[in-house]
Amino acid sequence: MRRELAEPGMGSPLEAAIAERDRGTLAMVEQALARGDAMLAYQPVLRADGRRVAFWEGLIRILDETGRIIPARDFMGAAEDTDLGRRIDCAALQAGLHALVETPDLRLSINMSARSVGYPGWMATLRRYLEQHPGAVERLILEITESSAMLMPEIVAIFMEELQDKGVTFALDDFGAGYTAFRHLKQFCFDILKIDGQFTRHIDRDADNQVLTEALISLGRHFDMLVVSESVETEAEAAWLAKAGVDCLQGYYYGAPSLTPPWRKDDAAEARRA
């Protein structure tokens, strides 16, 4: 008679190991937030001509107790549905708004979850800056992933309408990776459409990605959105996308996320000369 590998109601050894790893990661992130060891890494988003920066994206990074950088992909999956995920969003928003106040000509996008719309700490931070630094908030772009926006489309649409009246810009991130009903896309009125990076890979020679990307560009144009292609890694990909009509390009071909963006390098150089 075949023996069962696990007792009824119990997960497999692999599932148990993954759960233990996630608990360890979340505890490490909790400790980092308590220490204030959260910061943004900045990646440029360039105009399709490749010569001008349209805006920067601020990507949250956490430092462990040794100072090692932990990228978001290592913890956001486990934290996304928890209170910790909302606190991470708060840390990203606070850091981004602080950067906007410090750098008057900066235009910056910050990632957020639709769940943060109803989170008191996140909303309190945003409203405080709206009151004290309205000019800085007008240069803020909030990026919401397609899958997150679809969790509560009606609430997200109301939230967007309120803040767009105050000058905040909204980007629909990772478009094409999930499922968006077209009626909701019309309802949302996003300003920017960011095409998921899976469609960029080898697009100069991948006919399927070419057809899909052209359809997504056309959709963005129809709804009067600025279209950005993510994950651009080669000159050939950039050239094809620019010719296809995307407005902006983002990816390692133009620059990896950096904890020390150009405007801070300039400040450091000036301080050394003083």
82-91 pLDDT tens trace: 899 999 999 9
| Phi, psi for 58 (deg, rounded to 5) | -100, 115
Closest C-alpha among 151, 145, 19, 26 to residue 84: 26
* End-to-end C-alpha distance for the chain, whole angstroms: 81
Question: CB under 8 Å to 97, separation ≥6 — which residues?
Answer: 125, 126, 129, 133, 136, 137, 140
231: left (phi over 0), alpha (psi -120 to 50) or beta: left
Residue appearing with tokens 């969790």:
151
Domain edges within the chain: 36-268
Prediction pTM value: 0.89
pLDDT at residue 19 greater than cutoff 70 = no
Closest by alpha carbon to 253, among 221, 222, 229? 229
pLDDT of residue 168: 97
pLDDT of residue 267: 55
Q: Is 40 a residue whose pLDDT tops 50?
A: yes
The pLDDT confidence band at residue 79, using thresholds 50, 70 and 90, is confident
Residues of the chain with pLDDT > 90, as a percent, come to 68
- The pLDDT assigned to 110 comes to 98
pLDDT digits (tens, 9 = 90+) for 145-193: 888 888 888 899 999 999 999 999 999 999 988 766 566 777 888 999 9
SS3 at position 168: coil
Superfamily in which the 36-268 domain is placed by CATH: EAL domain (3.20.20.450)
- pLDDT of the residue at 239: 97
Question: SS3 of 78, please?
Answer: helix
Per-residue pLDDT at 20 exceeds 80: no
What's the confidence (pLDDT) of residue 10? 52
Per-residue pLDDT, 74:
82
Residue 143 · residue 111 · CB < 8 Å = yes
Q: Is the pLDDT of residue 3 over 60?
A: no
